[in-house]
Structure 1
Amino acid sequence: MTSENFKTHKIFDRLNSFEEVLEKDVVKEKVDLEKLSFFQTVFSYINQRVKLTIPDLVQQAEMDNLSSEMNAGITQINQFLGNNNVGHLENATNNFIAAINRIKNFPIPIAKADFNFSRKIADFEKTAKSKYIALEKHKEKLENAILDFEKDLKNKETEIQTLIKLVENKETEIQNLSSTFRTDFENIKSAHNQSFQNDKTQYRTEIDAVKGEFKEEIIEIREEIDTDTTDLISKLTTKLEEAERLVNIIGNVGVTGNYQNIANSHKSSADFWRVMAIIFMAVFSLLLVWTIIDLSSEGFDWVKSVIRLVAAAALSYPATYAARESSKHRKLETQNRNAELELASINPFIENLSDDKKQIIKEKLAEKYFGNNKNDDFLNEKETEGLSIPALERLLNALAKIKG
């Protein structure tokens, strides 16, 4: 290892840091005298051995290992100052012992060391005195704290005695209040029980009276309900009978209403054709009367008379047709009204019969009124009434004889 590297090695920084730590007042106060003296001796020994070391003969690794052990010991002391754990001092001691073992192997010149034991003793005495002074200060602090604690204890004792007296007074007051409360409670309880019994008797009397009134009212209401119910049943029975009659009437109207409508339609048609027949017959009669009157006149014209008779004969056909249609519609009106009357009156006539007989009668009536066209045969009959050609010839011959 060169001299230049030796001078700049970090071991010297470690020694300076170690010296600064040992000079701190807090270290002198917290570290006990034995440990503090050991640390100071370690510093002096290692510092002198490093100064006596021959740089060219020492190895770089040995210097690095020594620096590491010193750094570890210093770190342990600083940790002790932070948390007051004595175990850190033991670890620091072990690190420094390892450092001493390492520095023993460093090459140094063979000569008397300049280690001054008298100075070391003086330093130890100085350290002991400083430690004693620190202990005295700590003692004074403890004595002052004890005095303050004794004063505070006396004050607390005085306060405790005062509190004891207050508690005794409060206990006496509580006993008095308890006795008063018990007496008042017994009085209130007696008064309340008496009042409760009186109220209970009064309420029972009132409840019995109200109960009797309610019973009477309930009996009256029940009688009224029975009467009203009987009347209501009678009314409902009457309404039921009326409803049945209405149902029968509505049923009859539903069955016979169409027959009535058809009969009314045929009646209108019959009346219309009757009026038309009367009109044609009236015109026909007027022509005949006019022709007969004209026969007695001097200027009788056969041609005009024949034309009038032909016109009268022509009018006989629509008159006959109108009369026949009126008769046909009148017959249809009569049939539909008869059917309406029979269907409307069938239920009252068979009301007292059994259901089987009713069913048989209704089946026969169904065969009669539904799907049976026998009553319409007259519609196919041909009517030959009217003024025919032979009748017209006979009429002309009669007129000729009258004229001749």
Structure 2
Amino acid sequence: MTPSEYFAHPIRELLDRLLGLLQAQEFSDPDLLAQDSPAASLQSVSAISNTARSLLERTPPQFVSGHGLTQLQNAFQAIFNELTAYQSNKNPGHLQNARAQVEQSIMPQLWTFSPLAQQGDLAPLSQSIVDLTKTSSDSIQQLIAQREKYAAQSAALAQQIVDAEAKLARLAETVTKQNAEAASVVAVVQKQYAEKEAERVVAFESLLKQLRDNFAQMQVDAELAQAQRLDSLRESQDQAAQIVQVVGNIGVTGNYQKIANVEGEQANIWRYVTIGFFCAGIVIAAATFWKFWNQPFSPENAWSVLIRLMYAIAITAPAWYTARESARHRTNADRARQTELELASLGPFIELMPEDKKHQIREELTKRYFGNQVSEHTVEQPLNLKEVREFALELIKAARK
């Protein structure tokens, strides 16, 4: 057959799938391999499959029969189907059928490969199969020994489980007894708790009633005390109002009293200054008259007398200004004392009047004492210059005569 047909033949893939299937866990079970017939069947299928795979690799396509290769493919497909069926239902008959296919259908078809390719290869292959069989048997024996060991351990574990179940049963019985005792104790405790709870409820209600009575009494006492405090506060409020009114009057009138005192002191100062100027002028005039009293009046001494009198007038002239300032400060002092007297007597004067009348009087006094303009201060000449000039002319005429 041609090389392309040979190397692309489906038997190659089928053999790979078959050899892969033989590696499944179902075909390596120690219990299965411990039996001679199933083990021999699996070994026969594995050996013939590996042999066919080896022949496919070594035999040239020119020495291979295409018809025989197709027959081998059908036989290996039947073996694959039997192994797949065993994997599904674990029926050993499928393994026997697979071995029968090897003996009846595959071995007679090995003529497909040239005898030249088979010469010299069977002896090593047979030895490999023998070695593999021996190794498999030893592995199976070891697995069986381990299984027996595990079986003994399983028996010991089963006995331990039985003992544990017995202990568990005894513990369950003990727990049942303890539960019964605990239920009895709980019943006694609940009974005692109910009795104590009833006593506590009675004591609590009694205490609560006592607290309510005490609270009611405290509330009554507090209301009485609050009423007394309110009365005392009202009385204190009235007294405070009176005190505030008096203090307010004192605060208002005290300022006027201070102004009156200051203005009075200023009036006295300006009065003393005025008296000083007048005294100085009178002394100069008296000295002039005393000096020229016994001398006859003549033109020679007239100018001297006139000049001395002018000195007296010049010294006395500021006294007019100081007298006016003293009078102004005295007027301000009298006005402040009058206002102080009126404001101080206002409260007692209107105390017994109705409230509307009090407000009316306060409004009128407010208009009177507040919002007034301050009088302007004008500076007037202390002497009339016209009158002084006329007086001086008369003196000159008298001196010429």
Interval of TM-score (by shorter of Structure 1 and Structure 2): 0.5 to 0.7
Residue 175 of structure 1 and its aligned partner are, at CA, apart by 1.1
Unpaired segments of 5 or more residues in structure 1? 1-21, 53-102, 105-111, 398-404
Aligned CA distance change for structure 1 residues 357 and 224 (closer, same or farther; 3 Å): closer
One-letter identity of the residue aligned with 2:323: S
State how far apart, in whole Å, the 2-side matches of 1:385 and 1:366 are: 44
Q: Is 1:328 aligned to 2:339, yes or no?
A: no
Matches of residues 109-258 of structure 1 in structure 2 within 5 Å? 114=116, 126-251=127-252
Aligned CA distance change for structure 1 residues 221 and 302 (closer, same or farther; 3 Å): same
Partner residue in 2 for 1:277: 278
Partner residue in 2 for 1:268: 269
Matches of residues 6-21 of structure 1 in structure 2 within 5 Å? none
One-letter identity of the residue aligned with 1:136: S
Residue 182 of structure 1 and its aligned partner are, at CA, apart by 1.3
Q: Is 1:34 aligned to 2:34, yes or no?
A: no
Contact 1:274-1:326 within 8 A present in 2 as well: no
What TM-score do you get using the length of structure 2 for normalisation? 0.57
Contact 1:281-1:316 within 8 A present in 2 as well: yes
Matches of residues 60-79 of structure 1 in structure 2 within 5 Å? none
Aligned CA distance change for structure 1 residues 387 and 192 (closer, same or farther; 3 Å): farther
Residue 393 of structure 1 and its aligned partner are, at CA, apart by 8.1
Contact 2:318-2:382 within 8 A present in 1 as well: no
Contact 1:270-1:330 within 8 A present in 2 as well: yes
Counterpart of 1:370 (choices 367, 370, 373) is 373
Q: Is 1:315 aligned to 2:311, yes or no?
A: yes
Q: Is the deviation greater in 174-183 or in 221-230?
A: 221-230
One-letter identity of the residue aligned with 2:47: L
What CA deviation, in whole Å up to 9, does each residue of 1:45-98 have, x standing for no partner?
Answer: 75464999xxxxxxxxxxxxxxxxxxxxxxxxxxxxxxxxxxxxxxxxxxxxxx
State how far apart, in whole Å, the 2-side matches of 1:223 and 1:279 are: 82
What TM-score do you get using the length of structure 1 for normalisation? 0.57
Contact 2:263-2:332 within 8 A present in 1 as well: yes
- Identity over aligned pairs, percent: 4
Aligned-residue CA RMSD (Å)? 5.0
Unpaired segments of 5 or more residues in structure 2? 1-18, 29-41, 64-111
Contact 2:302-2:399 within 8 A present in 1 as well: no
One-letter identity of the residue aligned with 1:40: T
State how far apart, in whole Å, the 2-side matches of 1:41 and 1:267 are: 158
Residue 155 of structure 1 and its aligned partner are, at CA, apart by 0.7
State how far apart, in whole Å, the 2-side matches of 1:199 and 1:174 are: 35
State how far apart, in whole Å, the 2-side matches of 1:42 and 1:291 are: 185
What CA deviation, in whole Å up to 9, does each residue of 1:253-308 have, x standing for no partner?
Answer: 6689768755654443233222222233234324433554xx39xxx998997676
State how far apart, in whole Å, the 1-side matches of 2:151 and 2:189 are: 55
Aligned CA distance change for structure 1 residues 248 and 386 (closer, same or farther; 3 Å): farther
State how far apart, in whole Å, the 2-side matches of 1:218 and 1:355 are: 43
One-letter identity of the residue aligned with 2:320: R
What CA deviation, in whole Å up to 9, does each residue of 1:164-211 have, x standing for no partner?
Answer: 111111111111211121122122222222223223333433443344
Q: Is 1:339 aligned to 2:329, yes or no?
A: no
Residue 313 of structure 1 and its aligned partner are, at CA, apart by 1.0
State how far apart, in whole Å, the 2-side matches of 1:176 and 1:228 are: 74
Aligned CA distance change for structure 1 residues 382 and 139 (closer, same or farther; 3 Å): same
One-letter identity of the residue aligned with 2:373: F
Contact 1:37-1:127 within 8 A present in 2 as well: no
Aligned CA distance change for structure 1 residues 382 and 332 (closer, same or farther; 3 Å): farther
One-letter identity of the residue aligned with 1:36: A
Q: What count of residue pairs does the alignment treat as equivalent?
A: 307
Contact 1:259-1:336 within 8 A present in 2 as well: yes
Aligned CA distance change for structure 1 residues 274 and 325 (closer, same or farther; 3 Å): farther
